[in-house]
Chains A and B, each alone.
Chain A
Amino acid sequence: MTALLSTNEVVVRFGVLQAVSQASIEVHAGRVTGLIGPNGAGKTTCFNVITGLQEPTSGKVLLEGVDITGKSPSKRARLGIARTFQKLEVFGSLSARENIMVAAEQRRAWDKSGFDPKKVTDEILEKVGIADVSEFMVGTLPTGTARLVELARALATNPRLLLLDEASSGLTEEETEEMAALLRRLVADDGLGILLVEHDMSFVMGICEFIYVLDFGRVIASGTPAEVQANPTVQAAYLGTESVEEAS
């Protein structure tokens, strides 16, 4: 089965710093894939390459086998890639509802199915569980809730591939549980492929079917959660300790 998304030997070099080297990652539809690694490992850089915000020094990005390496971020959005950001990138001057509306309205440029952006917005607000803050300006919301808005906004573009960058940071345990449930539903019902970057190990191990481990820009291990947890290289990279929840 062709992967929904695959990166092929992607290298990103900033001057002498090699942020990402020979990264080859595959994300399959209907599955949650994890991307973990210590801080500075290059995870967000990978995301940037996949979404088109960063041009790789070499290597390719393929969406269902089609080379999208040269395409702009907005083109990739039209092809079905959506993401959230590690450093919150909400539209702070707009309300939560408007954040999602912008994405839904934009979708009309390529989705001619005649859907009503307002209705879609309401549905997503319910789905993600933020309907009670829909009128508040996102710049005033607590970080955790704002992240949910970002997630909702990403969903509004009806993506095939969803990239989540530390989506659970700032959420309480309860909220993290809810998000995990939501992600499982998305994968199961809508056949989404999800790639997530996380520091919350229990969250990652609980929800991902396949995990890549990055360190110093290299994929040092990959496999099922159990395999990765048992891998001595991974343990060494993390120095054997779990990362602290409040660190984010």
Chain B
Amino acid sequence: MRLKFSPRLISAVIVALIVAFVVQSNWGSASVSGRTIATFLVVGIALGGVYAISAAGLVVTYATTGIFNFAQAAIGCFLAFCYWQLTVQWGLPTLVAIAITLLIIAPAIGIALDRVIMRRLRDAALVVQLMVTVGLMLTFMGITLTIWPPKAPRSVPHFFEGTKGVQIGDVIATWHRIITVAIALLVAVALRFLLYRTRLGISMRAVVDSRSLAGLTGAKSSVISGASWSLGCMTAGLAGILIAPETGLVVENLALVIVVAAAAAAIAQLKSLPMVFVGGLIIGLTEAFTSVFLNFGTDWNYAPQAIPCVILFVALLFLPQARLETGKVRLTKRTERLTKPWEAAVGGGVMIVLVGAWANGWIPWFSGTTFGERSAVWLGRGVGFMIVGLIMLSLVPLIGWAGQVSFANFAIAGVGAVLFSHFGGQNGSPIGILFVMLVCAPLGLLIALPALRLKGLYLALATLAFAEFTDKVIVRHPKMIDPSATGVLFKPLDIFGIHISSDAADRKAFVIFLVIAFALLFFMLELLRRSRWARRWIAMSDSPAASATIGINLTTTKMAVFMLSGAMAGFAGCMLGLSQGALRVDSFPMFIGLPLVLLLAVQGVRYPVAAFMGLIGLASFPALSEVMGNPSWLTQVSLIGPGLAAVAMAYRPEGAVFYTGRDLAGMLPWRADAREEKALLDQRTRDQDIGRDDINDLGLTRAFTREKVAQLDRRLSISDAVDEHPMVTSTGVAK
């Protein structure tokens, strides 16, 4: 079907119309004069410079490593604190401090990251890549907060602070801001030159496209990837040093710039550095315009905060449409034994028994004075953990099977909670839950629509934008959450005469209700995994192109999984609302969606049982803390811990459940196949000791030996046994 005008043109017109409408209906009281325009331009460009620099690092990293680095801004934040330490605390001259930070510390971090983590991520699934960088973000934030506790006053002076800037009309552009904008532009130009005109830069990009081919030209990929990450960290540090005086040396402000940076990077289509500068300007000017000329009324009060995420979303939609992707084949274990229905039923039963026993105080470790006295408190927390588990369950079919990485499920749950407060929650009617699920299913679908044309990473970013938009605009609309409504919005649910609410007396029933619901959904998912639905989703995830060619309608298949996931998240949302009791406008921040996915991914996205393991892991932390008497160092570890666990995922990409399950399954008497499998795999690992990087050098600096060749053959899956015919004879000459 060929339209007269390209779909892109039509979308552009629609967006322009919407923007015009929004501007016109929210026009403020400022007059359009030379002064206001000058203010708007100066502020907008200054902001734009800040955003452009943050985004440049993101784009450079993506272009040279193929990995979208969520931790970019957090690394910049850490480096900004280092700079402060050097220049304000230890009194080093500014230039020396900058040099040490950017030329010594930053590259050191980059090389360390590359060596320890990033190399293992190259062929990993998208969700693993993203989650490891999210984990890194949390780790860096945690380390920064630990080394430099926030109570003490810290500030970084502007460059040329105290001097009069440049007068433009009625406004003064300070030197620091001019420098920021100039450096942003310079960095964009310089990086573009580096990446397209220098040997190093071209090698960096080549390594992303095809590592083996690049290796053939003599580019040593291990050195290059170290250089790429160093470059990324240096740019992050530069951004941090320039931004810190403007936003204040506060971890939250610096690390969460990532959202705006992502928006600017999306405008640059994640590859064009000059466009990054333009992208930053667009966002900065939009924000300045809103601040100077517009005035949003009650209903859309927080809309200005949603500007970056809306721009991110629109930019993603305008990206060139990806052809149906071809998939990456991942080496996994040899056979995947599907859980039998009776095993799933037993598993669900075990969950109910475990949690039920805990709720009744029968587990020895937890009973005793502490639990007895705090039982209502712990039961309340147990409710919270179960709800997190439910949301994670909803992610299993979506991310684990269908390969659609989405950060929006917590936001959907939030909308579910809010809806439930209006339809059913306010009078304790369980029918309301069904209604909410029915609404949340198509809500999940709404997110699926951009999924139809966005591939992996872009989809993940779009869901992030959606989650942010939900947090800042949808949920905060007064009709959703009434700002003057106070107190508890939900009446206890009445299910078969049992009261369920967050009141102390009802909490035990609430926990048990939730674990039964969890077990039922778990059972349903295990059954679903054996059905053609799951097979189709996994097929679509492994190779969309091939799926299409066997007749799978990718659109309806994707829609189905998004709807299922949305409905499950909606149910979790109703429970979330009921457990919180009161809803605040900032109850559902976007960045909670990230650790949720992370928690599941660490355990294993493909396995429903991982959701249960994830919630056990989540619960064990405060439990441990309680048992140890709440030591303060544990709070600090709690900042860094989850981050490190995620980073460890780089070494365990399939998820903890996979590796533990394999080992544990061997212990069950009827699982001889699991024991065989483990023995086989152990032997393969022993034989396959040829490392990735070793291959690069073979034949160039080191001779082919019989053993090495045999290992190569196994690596290439040409032969399975140890002593098959090697390609090279014993004299070392190729046949």
Name the residue in A72, A95, A140 with the highest tally of chain B Cβ atoms < 10 Å from its Cβ. A140
Chain A neighbourhood of B549, CB < 8 A? 51, 53, 73-74, 76-77, 81-83, 154
Q: Which of B323, B332, B539, B548 contacts A140 (CB 8 A)?
A: B332
**Interface flags, B536-549, vs A, CB<8A=1, else 0:** 10110111011111
Residues from 97 to 127 in A contacting B, C-beta threshold 8 Å: 98-99, 101-103, 105-107, 109-110
Chain A neighbourhood of B547, CB < 8 A? 91, 102
B538 touches A91 (CB 8 A): yes
Chain B neighbourhood of A91, CB < 8 A? 538-539, 542-543, 546-547
The verdict on A153 contacting chain B, using a C-beta distance below 8 Å, is: yes
The verdict on B582 contacting chain A, using a C-beta distance below 8 Å, is: no
A73 touches B324 (CB 8 A): yes
Q: Which of B539, B548, B606 contacts A72 (CB 8 A)?
A: B548
A154 touches B335 (CB 8 A): no
B550 touches A137 (CB 8 A): no
Chain B neighbourhood of A53, CB < 8 A? 323-324, 545, 548-549
CA distance A157 to B180 in the complex (A): 60
CA distance A98 to B535 in the complex (A): 7
CA distance A76 to B551 in the complex (A): 7
Closest residue of A by beta carbon distance from B542: A91
Chain B neighbourhood of A139, CB < 8 A? 329-332
Chain A neighbourhood of B535, CB < 8 A? 94, 98, 101-102, 105
Residues from 66 to 123 in B contacting A, C-beta threshold 8 Å: none
The verdict on A203 contacting chain B, using a C-beta distance below 8 Å, is: no
Closest residue of B by beta carbon distance from A94: B538
Chain B neighbourhood of A153, CB < 8 A? 546, 550
Distance of B607 from chain A, by nearest CB (Å)? 12
A137 touches B334 (CB 8 A): yes
Q: Which of B332, B541, B546 contacts A89 (CB 8 A)?
A: B546
**Interface flags, A170-181, vs B, CB<8A=1, else 0:** 000000000000
Chain B neighbourhood of A98, CB < 8 A? 535
Chain A neighbourhood of B548, CB < 8 A? 52-53, 72-74, 77
Closest residue of B by beta carbon distance from A157: B550
The verdict on B552 contacting chain A, using a C-beta distance below 8 Å, is: yes
Q: Which of A54, A102, A109, A143 contacts B539 (CB 8 A)?
A: A102
Q: Which of A83, A101, A143 contacts B717 (CB 8 A)?
A: A143
B333 touches A92 (CB 8 A): no
The verdict on B360 contacting chain A, using a C-beta distance below 8 Å, is: no
Distance of B699 from chain A, by nearest CB (Å)? 15
A93 touches B332 (CB 8 A): yes
CA distance A107 to B551 in the complex (A): 7
CA distance A90 to B536 in the complex (A): 13
Distance of A244 from chain B, by nearest CB (Å)? 12
CA distance A141 to B717 in the complex (A): 7
A88 touches B334 (CB 8 A): no
A142 touches B720 (CB 8 A): yes
Residues from 567 to 620 in B contacting A, C-beta threshold 8 Å: 606
Chain A neighbourhood of B702, CB < 8 A? none
CA distance A53 to B333 in the complex (A): 31
B551 touches A90 (CB 8 A): no
Residues from 690 to 735 in B contacting A, C-beta threshold 8 Å: 716-718, 720
Distance of A17 from chain B, by nearest CB (Å)? 15
Chain B neighbourhood of A242, CB < 8 A? none
The verdict on A135 contacting chain B, using a C-beta distance below 8 Å, is: yes
Chain A neighbourhood of B553, CB < 8 A? 74
Closest residue of A by beta carbon distance from B606: A93
B329 touches A142 (CB 8 A): no
Q: Which of A54, A85, A101 contacts B323 (CB 8 A)?
A: A54
**Interface flags, B306-331, vs A, CB<8A=1, else 0:** 00000000000000000110110111
A140 touches B331 (CB 8 A): yes
Chain B neighbourhood of A52, CB < 8 A? 548
CA distance A139 to B332 in the complex (A): 7
The verdict on A70 contacting chain B, using a C-beta distance below 8 Å, is: yes
CA distance A138 to B326 in the complex (A): 16
The verdict on B9 contacting chain A, using a C-beta distance below 8 Å, is: no
Chain B neighbourhood of A106, CB < 8 A? 536, 550-552
CA distance A101 to B532 in the complex (A): 8
Given A95-B336, A137-B334, A139-B332, also A154-B538 (CB < 8 A): no
A87 touches B326 (CB 8 A): yes
B551 touches A109 (CB 8 A): yes
CA distance A81 to B1 in the complex (A): 20
Chain B neighbourhood of A156, CB < 8 A? 550
CA distance A136 to B673 in the complex (A): 12
Distance of B400 from chain A, by nearest CB (Å)? 10
The verdict on B457 contacting chain A, using a C-beta distance below 8 Å, is: no
B550 touches A136 (CB 8 A): no
A94 touches B331 (CB 8 A): no
B326 touches A103 (CB 8 A): no
**Interface flags, B243-256, vs A, CB<8A=1, else 0:** 00000000000000
The verdict on A78 contacting chain B, using a C-beta distance below 8 Å, is: yes
Q: Which of B324, B330, B545, B554 contacts A92 (CB 8 A)?
A: B330
Chain B neighbourhood of A95, CB < 8 A? 335-336
CA distance A77 to B551 in the complex (A): 5
Given A93-B330, A142-B717, also A77-B542 (CB < 8 A): no
Chain A neighbourhood of B606, CB < 8 A? 93
B717 touches A93 (CB 8 A): no
Name the residue in A89, A94, A135, A142 with the highest tally of chain B Cβ atoms < 10 Å from its Cβ. A89
CA distance A190 to B586 in the complex (A): 64
Distance of B106 from chain A, by nearest CB (Å)? 37
Chain A neighbourhood of B545, CB < 8 A? 53, 73, 85, 89
Closest residue of A by beta carbon distance from B336: A137
A92 touches B542 (CB 8 A): yes
B551 touches A78 (CB 8 A): yes
Distance of A127 from chain B, by nearest CB (Å)? 17
A90 touches B329 (CB 8 A): yes
Chain B neighbourhood of A99, CB < 8 A? 539
Distance of B217 from chain A, by nearest CB (Å)? 18
CA distance A154 to B716 in the complex (A): 25
A102 touches B329 (CB 8 A): no
A110 touches B551 (CB 8 A): yes
Distance of B249 from chain A, by nearest CB (Å)? 46
Distance of A107 from chain B, by nearest CB (Å)? 7
Closest residue of B by beta carbon distance from A108: B532
Name the residue in B324, B548, B716 with the highest tally of chain A Cβ atoms < 10 Å from its Cβ. B548
CA distance A98 to B336 in the complex (A): 11
CA distance A70 to B2 in the complex (A): 9
Q: Which of A77, A102, A140 contacts B333 (CB 8 A)?
A: A140
Name the residue in B323, B331, B334, B550 with the highest tally of chain A Cβ atoms < 10 Å from its Cβ. B550
Given A105-B532, A135-B335, also A90-B550 (CB < 8 A): no
Given A77-B548, A83-B549, also A88-B536 (CB < 8 A): no
Distance of B657 from chain A, by nearest CB (Å)? 15
B541 touches A103 (CB 8 A): no
A102 touches B536 (CB 8 A): yes
B551 touches A74 (CB 8 A): yes
Distance of A84 from chain B, by nearest CB (Å)? 9
CA distance A73 to B546 in the complex (A): 9
Chain A neighbourhood of B329, CB < 8 A? 88, 90, 92, 138-139
Closest residue of B by beta carbon distance from A133: B334
Listed A/B pairs (18) with beta-carbon separation below 8 Å: A51-B549, A53-B324, A54-B323, A74-B552, A74-B553, A83-B549, A85-B326, A90-B543, A91-B542, A92-B542, A94-B542, A106-B550, A107-B551, A136-B334, A137-B334, A139-B330, A143-B716, A157-B551
For the complex of A and B, list the 6 residue pairs with the smallest distance between their C-beta atoms, beginning with the closest: A77-B551, A73-B548, A89-B546, A142-B717, A92-B329, A91-B542
Given A85-B545, A105-B532, 5 other A-B residues pairs in contact with their CB atoms under 8 A: A82-B549, A89-B546, A93-B606, A141-B717, A156-B550
A residues near B (Cβ < 8 Å) are: 51-54, 70, 72-74, 76-78, 81-83, 85, 87-95, 98-99, 101-103, 105-107, 109-110, 135-143, 150, 153-154, 156-157
